[in-house]
Structure 1
Amino acid sequence: MKKLLFLTQQRVCCLLAFYIGILLNLPIFLRRFHQLRYDALLSTGIEIVAAFALVLFTTLLASLAGRLLFRILISLLVVGSVAASYYMIFFNVDIGYGIIAAVMTTDSMDLSKESIGWNFGLWLVLVSLLPLLILWLAPLPEAVLHRRNGGAMLRRAGVMVAAGLCCWLPLKVMGKHQDSLDRQHNRMMASYGGVVAGTYSPSNWLSGMGLLAYSSWSQAEDSRKLFDPAAHFTYTPPKDVNDLYVVFVIGESARRDHMGVYGYARDNTPNLDKEPNLAALQGYSCDTSTKLSLRCMFVREGGASEAPERTLKEMNVFSVLKKQGFSSELFAMQSEAWFYNKALADDYALRETIQSEKRNVGKPIDDMALVSELKDSLDRHPQGKHLVILHTKGSHYLYTERYPRAFARYQPECMGIDDNCSTQQMVNSYDNSLLYTDHVLEQVFNQLRNRNAIVFYASDHGESISKNMHFHGTPRNVAPMAQRSVPIMVWASDKFLAHPDHAAAFAQLKMLAKDKTPVFHEKLFDSILGCAGFTSPNGGINELRNWCHVKQ
């Protein structure tokens, strides 16, 4: 006990940083060391320093709040980190938004004994005991904010700045190092700092809490500001809704005039070509950049403003399905969190979270990781009435980073951002990326062939390609057709088409495809619901905008 008298607040912070940042993460450091494929020793060492520095910075920041509040906040940090470490160490659980959302929204009485039992309780008490004793028994001073304590305050500020730099700077340097390796090996990895933050405690569960708070705030804002079709219209589900799966794949920078299934000279869609249950429609995007298109793709007519910024006015079609009783999950190789929140998904994972999973450690960003997430999602929801949204990296520049070497069919390629590439090299790489998209979509369909399922695919916008240049985002009123001409496809399983109503609706899609009838992003809202079999007696679906509407 006497030794505790010699513990200053900064020393307490250092001890807690060592305990939380290093000791609790020790098995994770060892596991990641064995999983890393490049610079494992250097990366692990840097991540140990960053983990310690992050907790030190956090505890020093909390110490400015005063003795009592400091102890309360850091006690929560300790308990949260110990709880997270139990599942990370013994169950290999990746802590992120989904886990945090499940914990925060599930009644504790419903949690299974396998998840929270005596072992967990014993771990929580024993592993939390030492840091909590140090925290509450050490005679800490009040916050040193008074001007007479200016020297102490400056010292503390100096240590905080140093801790912040020790966390940020090594990760920044490793991120730069990873970028250089990416260029050398023609690959693209997820953000180094983002993956590290999603791998270790407490950054993983703190970021998950932050994302949950943002999501809750965003949804609360939407409920007050955005028109909600589900609250104003009646939607009648199809008879087979209870075992129905709806999957939407959001493409990136894909042009239909560069896809074999649309008549392109190169056969870069060999799998799509032979799919009998596929309708490849002549799509046109509502805008020319990802963020703007995501605003106008999935809402009703007029649900996004015509202004350049495309301000949202209404909730999207995914929120409607959610309010019709669908469970929903979203997995993304991009980071449009604002959009994912508006889908009201039960769970979503961004690329950094996905890439920090054990099976993806050390691997480049690859859309095939989304197929694995889809498979797991379907396994978690074997009964159906489930929605999955996959946001791909698709054909985003640099195109050669979007596909493995096995798909480098068209040569020569544009291999680097700094290379002086001809138009043909750019096109070759772009066409190879679409060849890989064909493979990814085929794997998506394979997960659903034996289920009652319908899959939609639509690219967010197209791409202008010329010598050493790639463009999209041109104002839509003057954008070239290459930036607006996109693939929109609908695929259905045999089980889905066994229902006469679905078969008749899908025949309408096939007719649109055969006649090369133009279809538009702006009609996705009505068509997703209509093609899935929903009806609305009071105008919730505009049948004139429903591609699957069967005229009586």
Structure 2
Amino acid sequence: MFKPRRPEFLALIVAIYVALVLNQPFWRKFAGVVAPSDLDDWLFAAAVVTSSVLVAYLVLLALSAKPLLRILLLILLPAMAAAAYFMGEYGIVIDVHMVRNVFETDTREANDLITLKLVAYVVLLGLAPAVLFWLVPWTKQSYREETAGKLKAAAASLLLLVAVMLPVWGNFISLGRDHRELKMTLTPINFFSALTSYWRQEKRKRAKTIASYGEDAHQSVSGGSRKSLFVLVVGETARADHFSINGYPKPTNPGLSKIGDLINYSQAYSCGTDTAQSVPCIFSGLGRDGFTNAKADARENLLDIFKRAGLDVVWRENQSGCKGVCARIPTETLTGHKVPTFYASTQNFDDILVDGLDARIAKLDRDTVIVLHMMGSHGPAYWKRYPEKFETFKPACKDSQFSRCELQDIVNAYDNSILYTDHVLARLIETLKGAASRGVDAGMIYVSDHGESLGENGMYLHGMPYVIAPEAQIHVPMFVWLSPEMKEARGLDQGCMVSRSGSRVGHDNIFHSSLGIMGVATRVYDPSLDLFAPCRKPAS
């Protein structure tokens, strides 16, 4: 059916295909960065193109034992085609955090990402060429002849690579130093590097025992016969500039805007740009500068400290998991369960997190912390995050393949999800307001885990490396509501807190503010990071 070909020739064809076809997202970014305008620029661009082909060729030659190379390409080419789709469609890059997201994404979230265009990429650009390569017979040669041919091809390629790169080596170094994101769009280098880093981190995590943290924790403030309830709401994919309470022109916060004693921290910033990084960071006490997933996995967190201090702690989950944070406390997983919700639906919208809270408050017998982990505005299927009655901004994109939607329609769907989040949070606060009559001092803090890109500079979704992440992915909404009874019991001045709410704050403050509001004393508590400490009246 096919004419036999020498393995070094087949490897060259695959190298050209990988470098030039499956790396289209890289070349688009490269063209935007270099933007050749003179002969030197064009010569450098030609050197980058040539060297990318040669490097791929050398790797393939090194792996060109027939069974190994055929199997490798059957796996590698579809994976590269899928990576090309996601990078091209959403403008993302692939690093260790993105790989962690892939491994920790549940089935429902993964299904939202599957589109006809993705299937076409994988089948036509990945699987079909791999099968074609498998079907082409290799020229019959002795082992010695085949090895000699490969060595000659490798030697010639290496000499050509040096000749091409040496004159512009300084340009290569400068490009790599100033535009790190390019490396994270060059496949398969990006996901090999990311997979290796992820594997090393997971290996270290499995090898370590969990270290105690805040061993001296105890509750220093007691409300006597009254109990305290603090609800920590972890939002999902909400960006601050799409909240009307932060000046967004569309009315996305009709509920929250009516709550006069809400304290809105308009300059809040996240610890990371993805859930797998931000959620553990919020509860770790390490702070953004000191945080790594490996460090957080190796020791206890805020919830363990609360538990040690004698508080009841519950995690209510309507997302893809707590990323290890709730490993040692009671967890109520609501995602995907067919249970009655506030709005009848085949899915569990975030209202389910508030359902039953009245009954829980009525039975409260100890000071309690409840964490609500929202589905929020998780993309790209924004339209699935809210009931139909909340589709206020129209038309709304109802396709995970953003290239088939107008930009404004994508934004409308996202804004509808923010509108629904507003409803859930306003409902939560109304429920907490009723706690006073049951002898419970209540309060809540809400913060999103990260933001979201909505087409700015051709970028969608989130997960960019923090050092190059756009403002939209790290500037997050955050606000606090405390009942009058809780403020009085904790000696907090509302006016003082409002006056300080314009300061730059973020995830680093959640750990210490939560300890402070629940009166938990421990040497790991830092009052300088407690949002409430400067506004706490001295005890009389």
TM-score, normalised by the number of residues in structure 2: 0.55
Distance in 2, Cα, partners of 1:303 & 1:411: 38
Unaligned residue ranges in structure 2 (runs of 5+): 1-106, 116-204, 436-440
Q: Deviation string for 1:399-422 (max 9, x for gaps)?
A: 111111211111121112246112
1:417-432 alignment, distance < 5 Å? 417-418=400-401, 420-432=404-416
- 1:447 corresponds, among 421, 425, 431, to 431
Distance 1:396 1:277, change over 3 A: same
- 1:470 corresponds, among 460, 467, 470, to 460
Distance in 1, Cα, partners of 2:399 & 2:450: 23
The amino acid of 2:512's aligned partner reads: D
1:300 maps onto 2:289 in alignment: no
Residue 271 of structure 1: aligned partner: 255
- 1:510 corresponds, among 485, 498, 503, to 498
**Number of residues of Structure 1 aligned to a counterpart in Structure 2:** 331
Residue 368 of structure 2: aligned partner: 386
Moved more, 229-238 or 526-535: 229-238
Q: Deviation string for 1:13-65 (max 9, x for gaps)?
A: xxxxxxxxxxxxxxxxxxxxxxxxxxxxxxxxxxxxxxxxxxxxxxxxxxxxx
Distance 1:320 1:341, change over 3 A: same
Distance in 1, Cα, partners of 2:268 & 2:418: 16
Residue 473 of structure 2: aligned partner: 483
Give me the CA root mean square deviation: 3.4
The amino acid of 1:324's aligned partner reads: A
1:331 maps onto 2:301 in alignment: no
Distance 1:253 1:269, change over 3 A: same
Residue 412 of structure 1: aligned partner: 395
Q: Deviation string for 1:157-212 (max 9, x for gaps)?
A: xxxxxxxxxxxxxxxxxx99xx79x99xxxxxxxxxxxxxxxxxxxxxxxxxxxxx
Distance in 2, Cα, partners of 1:400 & 1:519: 30
Residue 239 of structure 2: aligned partner: 255
1:456 maps onto 2:438 in alignment: no
Distance in 1, Cα, partners of 2:273 & 2:350: 22
8 A contact 2:317–2:331 mirrored in 1: no
Residue 483 of structure 2: aligned partner: 493
Distance in 1, Cα, partners of 2:525 & 2:496: 17
TM-score, normalised by the number of residues in structure 1: 0.54
Could you say what secondary structure the match of 1:328 adopts?
Answer: strand
Distance 1:547 1:473, change over 3 A: same
1:400 maps onto 2:390 in alignment: no
8 A contact 2:218–2:308 mirrored in 1: no
Q: CA deviation at 1:316?
A: 1.8
Distance 1:502 1:227, change over 3 A: farther
Q: CA deviation at 1:337?
A: 4.8
Distance in 1, Cα, partners of 2:338 & 2:345: 9
Q: CA deviation at 1:298?
A: 1.4
Distance 1:432 1:526, change over 3 A: same
Distance 1:489 1:314, change over 3 A: farther
Distance in 1, Cα, partners of 2:209 & 2:287: 15
Q: CA deviation at 1:457?
A: 0.6
Could you say what secondary structure the match of 1:356 adopts?
Answer: coil
Q: Deviation string for 1:475-502 (max 9, x for gaps)?
A: 1111111100001111112322333x34
8 A contact 2:264–2:480 mirrored in 1: yes
Distance in 2, Cα, partners of 1:259 & 1:428: 13
8 A contact 1:289–1:473 mirrored in 2: yes
Q: CA deviation at 1:434?
A: 0.6
8 A contact 2:397–2:410 mirrored in 1: yes
The amino acid of 1:325's aligned partner reads: G
Q: CA deviation at 1:313?
A: 4.5
1:364 maps onto 2:347 in alignment: yes
The amino acid of 2:369's aligned partner reads: L
Q: CA deviation at 1:297?
A: 0.8
Could you say what secondary structure the match of 1:253 adopts?
Answer: coil
Distance in 2, Cα, partners of 1:317 & 1:524: 10
1:290 maps onto 2:272 in alignment: no
Residue 530 of structure 1: aligned partner: 516
Unaligned residue ranges in structure 1 (runs of 5+): 1-174, 184-220
Distance 1:321 1:269, change over 3 A: same
Distance in 1, Cα, partners of 2:530 & 2:353: 28
8 A contact 2:218–2:309 mirrored in 1: no
